[in-house]
Chains A and B, each alone.
Chain A
Amino acid sequence: MNEQIDKELDRRQFLTRAGKAGIAIAATGAVSYLFYDATGPQPRSKTEELVTLPDFSVPQTAGQTMSIVKGYDRVKTVDKAMELLGGIERFVKPGETVAIKPNVAFASPPMLGATTRPELVAEVVRLCYSRGRAKQVYVTDNPINDPASCFRLSGIGKAASRTGAKVILPKDNLFGHTTLTGGKLIRNWPIFFEPFKKVHKLIGIAPIKHHHRSGASMTMKNWYGLLGGRRNIFHQDINTIICELAMMVKPTLVILDGTQVMMTNGPTGGSISDLRRADTLIASCDMVAADSYGCSLLDLKVADLPYLTKADRAGAGTTNYESLKPILATVS
Protein backbone atom coordinates (compact mmCIF):
# COMPACT_ATOMS: atom_id res chain seq x y z
CA MET A 1 0.00 0.00 0.00
CA ASN A 2 2.73 2.40 0.94
CA GLU A 3 4.25 2.07 -2.49
CA GLN A 4 0.97 2.90 -4.16
CA ILE A 5 0.57 6.13 -2.23
CA ASP A 6 3.62 7.50 -3.94
CA LYS A 7 2.44 6.48 -7.34
CA GLU A 8 0.17 8.50 -9.54
CA LEU A 9 -3.25 6.99 -10.06
CA ASP A 10 -3.31 5.30 -13.44
CA ARG A 11 -6.27 5.48 -15.77
CA ARG A 12 -7.51 1.97 -15.06
CA GLN A 13 -7.52 2.55 -11.33
CA PHE A 14 -9.26 5.88 -11.73
CA LEU A 15 -12.01 4.41 -13.90
CA THR A 16 -12.58 1.57 -11.45
CA ARG A 17 -12.88 3.97 -8.57
CA ALA A 18 -15.13 6.32 -10.53
CA GLY A 19 -17.33 3.34 -11.43
CA LYS A 20 -17.66 2.29 -7.79
CA ALA A 21 -18.43 5.86 -6.76
CA GLY A 22 -21.12 6.05 -9.44
CA ILE A 23 -22.74 2.82 -8.26
CA ALA A 24 -22.70 4.01 -4.65
CA ILE A 25 -24.40 7.30 -5.60
CA ALA A 26 -26.96 5.48 -7.74
CA ALA A 27 -27.70 3.05 -4.90
CA THR A 28 -28.21 5.93 -2.46
CA GLY A 29 -30.56 7.54 -4.95
CA ALA A 30 -32.47 4.30 -5.45
CA VAL A 31 -32.93 3.81 -1.71
CA SER A 32 -34.15 7.39 -1.35
CA TYR A 33 -36.60 6.84 -4.21
CA LEU A 34 -37.92 3.64 -2.69
CA PHE A 35 -38.66 5.27 0.66
CA TYR A 36 -39.77 8.63 -0.78
CA ASP A 37 -42.84 10.02 0.98
CA ALA A 38 -44.18 13.26 -0.46
CA THR A 39 -46.94 13.83 2.08
CA GLY A 40 -45.58 12.99 5.51
CA PRO A 41 -47.62 11.32 8.23
CA GLN A 42 -51.37 11.88 8.39
CA PRO A 43 -53.29 12.15 11.65
CA ARG A 44 -54.69 8.73 12.60
CA SER A 45 -53.32 7.22 9.45
CA LYS A 46 -53.21 3.72 10.94
CA THR A 47 -56.20 1.68 9.88
CA GLU A 48 -56.92 -1.67 11.43
CA GLU A 49 -58.12 -4.59 9.41
CA LEU A 50 -61.63 -5.21 10.66
CA VAL A 51 -63.06 -8.56 11.68
CA THR A 52 -66.67 -9.61 12.16
CA LEU A 53 -68.01 -12.22 14.56
CA PRO A 54 -69.82 -15.01 12.69
CA ASP A 55 -73.51 -15.69 13.27
CA PHE A 56 -73.77 -18.79 15.47
CA SER A 57 -77.55 -18.99 15.72
CA VAL A 58 -79.57 -22.00 14.59
CA PRO A 59 -82.97 -21.95 12.88
CA GLN A 60 -85.89 -21.28 15.19
CA THR A 61 -88.25 -24.07 16.15
CA ALA A 62 -91.61 -22.69 17.18
CA GLY A 63 -92.32 -23.38 20.83
CA GLN A 64 -88.77 -24.51 21.51
CA THR A 65 -86.96 -21.23 21.97
CA MET A 66 -86.84 -20.95 25.71
CA SER A 67 -87.11 -23.31 28.65
CA ILE A 68 -87.29 -22.52 32.33
CA VAL A 69 -86.46 -25.31 34.76
CA LYS A 70 -86.91 -25.13 38.50
CA GLY A 71 -84.57 -27.10 40.69
CA TYR A 72 -81.42 -26.80 42.79
CA ASP A 73 -79.14 -29.32 41.10
CA ARG A 74 -77.62 -27.44 38.18
CA VAL A 75 -76.56 -30.60 36.39
CA LYS A 76 -80.14 -31.87 36.41
CA THR A 77 -81.74 -28.54 35.57
CA VAL A 78 -79.46 -27.86 32.64
CA ASP A 79 -79.98 -31.40 31.32
CA LYS A 80 -83.73 -30.88 31.52
CA ALA A 81 -83.60 -27.40 30.03
CA MET A 82 -81.64 -28.69 27.05
CA GLU A 83 -83.91 -31.65 26.61
CA LEU A 84 -86.93 -29.35 26.50
CA LEU A 85 -85.36 -27.33 23.68
CA GLY A 86 -84.86 -30.47 21.63
CA GLY A 87 -81.63 -31.70 23.12
CA ILE A 88 -78.10 -30.49 22.50
CA GLU A 89 -78.23 -32.45 19.24
CA ARG A 90 -80.42 -29.70 17.86
CA PHE A 91 -77.63 -27.20 18.39
CA VAL A 92 -74.39 -29.11 18.07
CA LYS A 93 -73.86 -31.38 15.09
CA PRO A 94 -71.33 -34.23 15.09
CA GLY A 95 -67.81 -33.06 14.32
CA GLU A 96 -68.51 -29.43 15.07
CA THR A 97 -66.43 -27.19 17.31
CA VAL A 98 -68.08 -25.28 20.13
CA ALA A 99 -67.00 -22.24 22.12
CA ILE A 100 -68.46 -21.81 25.59
CA LYS A 101 -68.34 -18.35 27.12
CA PRO A 102 -68.95 -18.52 30.86
CA ASN A 103 -68.63 -15.49 33.11
CA VAL A 104 -65.11 -15.83 34.56
CA ALA A 105 -64.74 -12.14 35.32
CA PHE A 106 -63.39 -12.38 38.86
CA ALA A 107 -60.74 -14.37 40.69
CA SER A 108 -63.19 -15.60 43.26
CA PRO A 109 -64.23 -19.04 44.47
CA PRO A 110 -67.34 -20.64 42.91
CA MET A 111 -69.37 -20.59 46.13
CA LEU A 112 -69.51 -16.78 46.03
CA GLY A 113 -71.47 -16.84 42.79
CA ALA A 114 -69.51 -14.07 41.05
CA THR A 115 -68.66 -16.44 38.22
CA THR A 116 -70.43 -19.19 36.31
CA ARG A 117 -70.53 -22.38 38.35
CA PRO A 118 -67.90 -24.91 37.21
CA GLU A 119 -70.29 -27.88 37.40
CA LEU A 120 -72.58 -26.10 34.97
CA VAL A 121 -69.75 -25.51 32.52
CA ALA A 122 -68.61 -29.12 32.93
CA GLU A 123 -72.09 -30.47 32.25
CA VAL A 124 -72.56 -28.40 29.10
CA VAL A 125 -69.13 -29.51 27.86
CA ARG A 126 -70.08 -33.08 28.60
CA LEU A 127 -73.36 -32.71 26.70
CA CYS A 128 -71.55 -31.21 23.71
CA TYR A 129 -69.19 -34.18 23.57
CA SER A 130 -71.46 -37.06 24.49
CA ARG A 131 -74.78 -36.13 22.90
CA GLY A 132 -73.71 -33.51 20.40
CA ARG A 133 -70.57 -35.43 19.45
CA ALA A 134 -68.63 -32.21 19.12
CA LYS A 135 -65.08 -32.47 17.85
CA GLN A 136 -63.62 -29.90 20.21
CA VAL A 137 -65.07 -27.66 22.90
CA TYR A 138 -63.33 -24.46 23.97
CA VAL A 139 -64.00 -22.52 27.16
CA THR A 140 -62.91 -18.93 27.02
CA ASP A 141 -63.33 -15.46 28.50
CA ASN A 142 -61.43 -12.21 28.83
CA PRO A 143 -61.79 -11.62 32.59
CA ILE A 144 -61.50 -8.40 34.57
CA ASN A 145 -59.07 -9.80 37.16
CA ASP A 146 -55.92 -11.70 36.24
CA PRO A 147 -57.05 -14.27 33.61
CA ALA A 148 -55.08 -17.29 34.80
CA SER A 149 -56.12 -16.64 38.41
CA CYS A 150 -59.77 -16.24 37.41
CA PHE A 151 -59.86 -19.57 35.61
CA ARG A 152 -58.02 -21.23 38.49
CA LEU A 153 -59.99 -19.83 41.42
CA SER A 154 -63.42 -20.00 39.80
CA GLY A 155 -62.84 -23.72 39.23
CA ILE A 156 -63.77 -23.31 35.58
CA GLY A 157 -60.26 -24.09 34.36
CA LYS A 158 -60.31 -27.43 36.12
CA ALA A 159 -63.92 -28.17 35.12
CA ALA A 160 -62.99 -27.58 31.50
CA SER A 161 -59.83 -29.66 31.46
CA ARG A 162 -61.52 -32.47 33.39
CA THR A 163 -64.21 -32.78 30.75
CA GLY A 164 -61.84 -32.48 27.81
CA ALA A 165 -62.51 -28.87 26.86
CA LYS A 166 -59.67 -26.54 26.06
CA VAL A 167 -59.29 -23.26 27.94
CA ILE A 168 -58.24 -20.29 25.83
CA LEU A 169 -56.77 -17.40 27.80
CA PRO A 170 -56.91 -13.91 26.31
CA LYS A 171 -53.47 -13.47 24.80
CA ASP A 172 -52.84 -10.21 23.01
CA ASN A 173 -52.61 -11.81 19.58
CA LEU A 174 -56.13 -13.26 19.89
CA PHE A 175 -57.81 -9.87 19.52
CA GLY A 176 -59.05 -8.18 16.38
CA HIS A 177 -60.79 -4.86 15.68
CA THR A 178 -64.45 -4.81 14.78
CA THR A 179 -67.11 -2.30 13.86
CA LEU A 180 -70.74 -3.07 14.58
CA THR A 181 -73.02 -2.12 11.72
CA GLY A 182 -75.49 0.34 13.16
CA GLY A 183 -73.45 0.58 16.34
CA LYS A 184 -72.51 3.81 18.03
CA LEU A 185 -69.91 2.60 20.51
CA ILE A 186 -68.42 -0.54 18.99
CA ARG A 187 -66.53 1.14 16.21
CA ASN A 188 -63.04 -0.03 15.30
CA TRP A 189 -62.84 -1.57 18.75
CA PRO A 190 -60.68 -4.58 19.74
CA ILE A 191 -62.64 -7.72 20.56
CA PHE A 192 -61.55 -11.16 21.75
CA PHE A 193 -61.95 -12.72 18.33
CA GLU A 194 -59.65 -15.62 17.49
CA PRO A 195 -61.36 -18.26 19.70
CA PHE A 196 -64.66 -17.56 17.93
CA LYS A 197 -63.36 -17.19 14.41
CA LYS A 198 -63.38 -20.83 13.45
CA VAL A 199 -65.84 -22.49 15.83
CA HIS A 200 -69.26 -23.55 14.59
CA LYS A 201 -71.32 -22.86 17.69
CA LEU A 202 -71.26 -20.46 20.62
CA ILE A 203 -72.94 -21.02 23.99
CA GLY A 204 -73.05 -18.31 26.65
CA ILE A 205 -73.47 -19.35 30.29
CA ALA A 206 -74.00 -16.64 32.88
CA PRO A 207 -75.18 -16.33 36.45
CA ILE A 208 -77.76 -13.72 37.48
CA LYS A 209 -76.06 -10.96 39.38
CA HIS A 210 -76.84 -7.58 40.78
CA HIS A 211 -74.88 -4.86 38.99
CA HIS A 212 -74.95 -1.39 40.43
CA ARG A 213 -74.42 0.51 37.22
CA SER A 214 -76.64 -1.41 34.82
CA GLY A 215 -79.01 -2.98 37.30
CA ALA A 216 -78.28 -6.58 36.42
CA SER A 217 -75.61 -8.71 34.83
CA MET A 218 -77.00 -11.68 32.93
CA THR A 219 -76.46 -13.28 29.53
CA MET A 220 -76.27 -10.04 27.52
CA LYS A 221 -73.84 -8.38 29.90
CA ASN A 222 -71.80 -11.61 29.80
CA TRP A 223 -70.59 -10.65 26.30
CA TYR A 224 -68.72 -7.72 27.87
CA GLY A 225 -65.98 -10.32 28.21
CA LEU A 226 -65.50 -10.22 24.46
CA LEU A 227 -64.47 -6.59 24.55
CA GLY A 228 -60.80 -5.77 24.67
CA GLY A 229 -58.96 -2.49 25.01
CA ARG A 230 -60.04 0.06 27.58
CA ARG A 231 -63.53 -1.30 27.75
CA ASN A 232 -64.22 0.38 31.08
CA ILE A 233 -64.99 3.65 29.34
CA PHE A 234 -68.22 2.08 28.07
CA HIS A 235 -69.62 2.34 31.58
CA GLN A 236 -70.43 5.92 30.70
CA ASP A 237 -73.17 4.52 28.48
CA ILE A 238 -73.75 1.08 29.90
CA ASN A 239 -77.19 0.46 28.40
CA THR A 240 -76.08 1.23 24.88
CA ILE A 241 -72.98 -0.97 25.12
CA ILE A 242 -74.95 -3.95 26.45
CA CYS A 243 -77.50 -3.46 23.68
CA GLU A 244 -74.72 -3.30 21.09
CA LEU A 245 -73.13 -6.45 22.50
CA ALA A 246 -76.47 -8.20 22.06
CA MET A 247 -76.54 -6.95 18.48
CA MET A 248 -72.95 -8.01 17.81
CA VAL A 249 -73.04 -11.52 19.28
CA LYS A 250 -75.48 -14.00 17.83
CA PRO A 251 -75.02 -17.07 20.01
CA THR A 252 -76.39 -20.52 19.36
CA LEU A 253 -77.81 -20.61 22.83
CA VAL A 254 -77.56 -18.91 26.19
CA ILE A 255 -77.94 -20.49 29.60
CA LEU A 256 -78.90 -18.23 32.48
CA ASP A 257 -78.25 -19.64 35.92
CA GLY A 258 -80.64 -18.38 38.59
CA THR A 259 -80.10 -21.25 40.97
CA GLN A 260 -78.48 -18.77 43.32
CA VAL A 261 -78.91 -15.11 42.51
CA MET A 262 -76.50 -12.43 43.65
CA MET A 263 -78.89 -9.90 45.12
CA THR A 264 -76.44 -7.33 46.51
CA ASN A 265 -72.86 -6.16 46.26
CA GLY A 266 -72.65 -7.18 42.61
CA PRO A 267 -71.03 -7.96 40.35
CA THR A 268 -68.18 -9.05 42.60
CA GLY A 269 -70.20 -10.28 45.59
CA GLY A 270 -67.70 -11.56 48.09
CA SER A 271 -70.02 -13.02 50.67
CA ILE A 272 -72.50 -15.88 50.74
CA SER A 273 -74.97 -13.48 52.30
CA ASP A 274 -75.08 -11.63 48.98
CA LEU A 275 -76.75 -14.67 47.41
CA ARG A 276 -80.38 -15.84 47.41
CA ARG A 277 -81.72 -19.14 46.22
CA ALA A 278 -84.10 -18.89 43.29
CA ASP A 279 -83.75 -22.47 42.00
CA THR A 280 -84.23 -21.50 38.38
CA LEU A 281 -82.26 -22.20 35.24
CA ILE A 282 -83.12 -20.79 31.85
CA ALA A 283 -81.95 -21.99 28.45
CA SER A 284 -82.87 -19.82 25.52
CA CYS A 285 -82.07 -19.07 21.91
CA ASP A 286 -83.22 -15.52 22.60
CA MET A 287 -80.99 -13.86 25.16
CA VAL A 288 -83.15 -10.76 25.49
CA ALA A 289 -86.04 -13.02 26.48
CA ALA A 290 -83.83 -14.94 28.92
CA ASP A 291 -82.66 -11.75 30.61
CA SER A 292 -86.17 -10.29 30.62
CA TYR A 293 -87.32 -13.30 32.58
CA GLY A 294 -84.15 -13.42 34.67
CA CYS A 295 -84.49 -9.87 35.98
CA SER A 296 -87.64 -10.91 37.83
CA LEU A 297 -85.45 -13.13 40.01
CA LEU A 298 -83.62 -9.94 41.05
CA ASP A 299 -86.98 -8.33 41.85
CA LEU A 300 -86.60 -6.07 38.82
CA LYS A 301 -88.95 -5.25 35.96
CA VAL A 302 -88.00 -5.01 32.30
CA ALA A 303 -88.42 -1.24 32.49
CA ASP A 304 -85.76 -1.10 35.21
CA LEU A 305 -83.16 -2.29 32.73
CA PRO A 306 -83.17 0.11 29.77
CA TYR A 307 -80.81 -2.12 27.81
CA LEU A 308 -83.52 -4.76 27.48
CA THR A 309 -85.92 -2.41 25.69
CA LYS A 310 -83.06 -1.06 23.61
CA ALA A 311 -82.05 -4.53 22.50
CA ASP A 312 -85.66 -5.39 21.74
CA ARG A 313 -85.96 -2.28 19.59
CA ALA A 314 -82.69 -3.11 17.85
CA GLY A 315 -84.06 -6.53 16.94
CA ALA A 316 -81.74 -8.60 19.10
CA GLY A 317 -84.64 -10.43 20.76
CA THR A 318 -87.86 -9.86 22.58
CA THR A 319 -88.52 -8.60 26.08
CA ASN A 320 -91.92 -10.21 25.87
CA TYR A 321 -90.68 -13.69 26.72
CA GLU A 322 -94.23 -14.92 27.23
CA SER A 323 -94.72 -14.64 23.48
CA LEU A 324 -92.10 -17.36 23.02
CA LYS A 325 -94.20 -19.72 25.13
CA PRO A 326 -91.33 -20.84 27.34
CA ILE A 327 -91.47 -24.48 28.37
CA LEU A 328 -91.63 -24.87 32.13
CA ALA A 329 -90.48 -27.85 34.11
CA THR A 330 -89.35 -28.79 37.58
CA VAL A 331 -86.72 -31.34 38.52
CA SER A 332 -86.11 -32.61 42.00
Chain B
Amino acid sequence: MISKDQVKHIAGLARLGLTDEEIEKYQKDISSVLDYVEKLEKVNVSGIEPTSHSVRVENATRKDEIKSFDGRLMDLAPDKKENYLKVKSILK
Protein backbone atom coordinates (compact mmCIF):
# COMPACT_ATOMS: atom_id res chain seq x y z
CA MET B 1 0.00 0.00 0.00
CA ILE B 2 1.33 3.37 -1.02
CA SER B 3 1.18 5.97 1.75
CA LYS B 4 -0.66 9.28 1.79
CA ASP B 5 2.65 11.12 1.98
CA GLN B 6 3.90 9.28 -1.07
CA VAL B 7 0.83 10.32 -3.05
CA LYS B 8 1.34 13.89 -1.88
CA HIS B 9 4.99 13.79 -2.90
CA ILE B 10 4.23 12.29 -6.32
CA ALA B 11 1.39 14.75 -6.96
CA GLY B 12 3.84 17.53 -6.14
CA LEU B 13 6.39 16.17 -8.61
CA ALA B 14 3.65 15.99 -11.25
CA ARG B 15 2.46 19.51 -10.32
CA LEU B 16 -1.06 18.38 -9.50
CA GLY B 17 -2.78 20.35 -6.75
CA LEU B 18 -4.99 17.90 -4.88
CA THR B 19 -7.39 18.23 -1.96
CA ASP B 20 -7.02 15.95 1.07
CA GLU B 21 -10.03 13.92 -0.04
CA GLU B 22 -8.52 13.48 -3.49
CA ILE B 23 -5.24 12.34 -2.00
CA GLU B 24 -7.09 9.75 0.03
CA LYS B 25 -9.01 8.53 -3.00
CA TYR B 26 -5.89 8.28 -5.19
CA GLN B 27 -4.07 6.49 -2.40
CA LYS B 28 -6.72 3.78 -2.56
CA ASP B 29 -6.96 3.70 -6.37
CA ILE B 30 -3.21 3.70 -7.04
CA SER B 31 -2.66 1.02 -4.41
CA SER B 32 -5.17 -1.31 -6.01
CA VAL B 33 -3.54 -0.85 -9.43
CA LEU B 34 -0.07 -1.39 -7.96
CA ASP B 35 -1.31 -4.59 -6.30
CA TYR B 36 -2.66 -5.72 -9.64
CA VAL B 37 0.53 -5.01 -11.64
CA GLU B 38 2.53 -6.94 -9.08
CA LYS B 39 1.74 -10.02 -11.15
CA LEU B 40 4.51 -8.97 -13.57
CA GLU B 41 7.00 -10.11 -10.93
CA LYS B 42 6.08 -13.67 -11.80
CA VAL B 43 7.29 -13.29 -15.38
CA ASN B 44 10.82 -14.42 -16.09
CA VAL B 45 12.37 -11.54 -18.02
CA SER B 46 16.03 -12.43 -17.70
CA GLY B 47 17.83 -11.84 -20.97
CA ILE B 48 14.79 -10.19 -22.56
CA GLU B 49 15.31 -6.89 -24.35
CA PRO B 50 12.80 -4.13 -23.59
CA THR B 51 10.41 -2.93 -26.31
CA SER B 52 9.83 0.80 -26.48
CA HIS B 53 8.15 0.86 -29.89
CA SER B 54 6.57 -2.03 -31.74
CA VAL B 55 7.85 -0.85 -35.10
CA ARG B 56 11.53 -0.28 -34.88
CA VAL B 57 12.49 2.93 -36.63
CA GLU B 58 16.06 3.93 -36.00
CA ASN B 59 17.67 7.30 -36.47
CA ALA B 60 14.92 8.99 -38.40
CA THR B 61 16.77 12.13 -39.43
CA ARG B 62 15.94 15.17 -41.49
CA LYS B 63 17.69 18.32 -42.58
CA ASP B 64 17.75 20.99 -39.92
CA GLU B 65 15.92 23.62 -41.92
CA ILE B 66 13.80 26.54 -40.83
CA LYS B 67 10.24 26.31 -42.10
CA SER B 68 7.71 29.04 -41.69
CA PHE B 69 4.72 28.41 -39.44
CA ASP B 70 1.83 30.81 -39.56
CA GLY B 71 -0.29 29.20 -36.85
CA ARG B 72 -1.41 31.79 -34.32
CA LEU B 73 0.22 30.19 -31.30
CA MET B 74 0.45 33.34 -29.22
CA ASP B 75 -3.32 33.84 -29.48
CA LEU B 76 -3.69 30.70 -27.36
CA ALA B 77 -1.72 32.02 -24.39
CA PRO B 78 -3.86 32.54 -21.29
CA ASP B 79 -1.89 35.67 -20.42
CA LYS B 80 0.59 37.69 -22.44
CA LYS B 81 2.17 41.09 -22.77
CA GLU B 82 3.07 42.28 -26.24
CA ASN B 83 4.41 39.13 -27.84
CA TYR B 84 5.60 37.46 -24.65
CA LEU B 85 3.99 34.86 -22.39
CA LYS B 86 3.25 36.39 -19.03
CA VAL B 87 3.97 34.41 -15.87
CA LYS B 88 4.01 35.21 -12.16
CA SER B 89 7.27 36.77 -11.00
CA ILE B 90 9.87 34.27 -9.82
CA LEU B 91 12.44 36.61 -8.29
CA LYS B 92 11.24 38.46 -5.28
The answer on A and B forming one complex is no
Residues of B within 8 A of A (CB): none
